[in-house]
Amino acid sequence: MTTLDRRLHAFRPDLASADLRGRVAASQFVEGRPAQITAPVVDLRPAPRTDTGIDTQLLHGATVRVFDEREGWAWLQADADGYVGYAPASALSEIKEPTHVVVAQRSFVYRGADLRFPATEVHSMGVNVRIIGEAETRGTRYAFFETGEAMILDHLRPISHRESDYVTVAERFEHTPYLWGGVSGFGIDCSGLVQLAMRMTGISVLRDTDMQATSIGTALDIGDDLAGLQRGDLVFWKGHVSIMLDAVSMIHASGHTMSVTREKLADAVARIGHLYGGPTGFRRP
């Protein structure tokens, strides 16, 4: 990992390890073993230590390739976007094909099919789970895991489910706390909001703002008057991205409010400009 540029800790998802031979200095290359995230949310770190920052996160049910494992840490690559980093080995298991995806922003896992039972975990929107049965308690339908634990069935959809509008998905995260590297309903950053909202509609995009700014959809030629933008368009600054709600308003995970918030694009341009300059680009998915 130390021989890779940090920006290449997200080397292209379609590159197998064999494709790095001759390009990366290493004594040997391995294909990696497949595994699956079992914790609700796992931090992916640039080094095998808890005192480092997080680069991104992986949600329960995400599949990965594990290249190395030692002293309780696994060095792995996410299948979805190619991100590479270190995660606790205890958060991994063999792959079990998921049946459902969580569509509520957050949802509890209970010891059994009863909301009065103690909650054992909380899952975020975008989590993939394996359901083996259903039950009803006092008029509420529950979905069972193999462990006997249960979730509210209405908070789940079949794994093939696709939301119709990624902007509507992003709006559900309003007031969610800002978290650098976050990708969940517990905490999220600007590019994480774009990635998760689009993934819920079946669109896979890269993780970081600079990657999204050159790869999502098509570039727009927007003048200084910012005219011509519409719902769903993306506005990029250096290190930041927002989603247009309509021609004048946007939603984004803001380090200014430390939450997912709505504001006028013109107001954001004026405020952000003092620190980071004006928008660097516009794209339409």
pLDDT in the model for residue 274? 86
DSSP β-bridge partners for residue 249: 264
d(CA 19, CA 83): 16
d(CA 50, CA 53): 8
d(CA 114, CA 150): 8
Chain-centroid distance of CA 128 in Å reads: 12
Under 8 Å between Cβ of 127 and 60: yes
Written as six digits, the tokens of 84 are 């590479």
Chain-centroid distance of CA 241 in Å reads: 14
Mean predicted lDDT score pLDDT of the chain:
91
Q: Is the overall model pTM greater than 0.85, yes or no?
A: yes
pLDDT in the model for residue 30? 65
Residues of the chain with pLDDT under 50: 1-25
Written as six digits, the tokens of 25 are 């200095």
Q: Is 95 helix (H, G, I), strand (E, B) or coil?
A: coil
Q: Is 241 helix (H, G, I), strand (E, B) or coil?
A: strand
Side by side, the strands of the sheet bearing 128-129 are 128-129, 100-102, 156-158
d(CA 204, CA 157): 19
Q: How far apart are the first and last CA of the chain?
A: 32
pLDDT in the model for residue 79? 96
- Choose among 185, 184, 15, 183: nearest CA to 84: 15
What phi, psi does 211 have (nearest 5°)? -70, -45
Element (H or E) spanning 64, and its range? strand 63-70
pLDDT in the model for residue 183? 98
d(CA 125, CA 173): 10
- Name residue, tokens 């819920």: 200
Element (H or E) spanning 192, and its range? helix 190-199
Q: Catalogue all structural domains in the chain, each as residue range(s) with its CATH number.
A: 6-93 (2.30.30.40), 100-158 (2.30.30), 166-284 (3.90.1720.10)
Under 8 Å between Cβ of 116 and 33: no
What phi, psi does 118 have (nearest 5°)? -60, 140
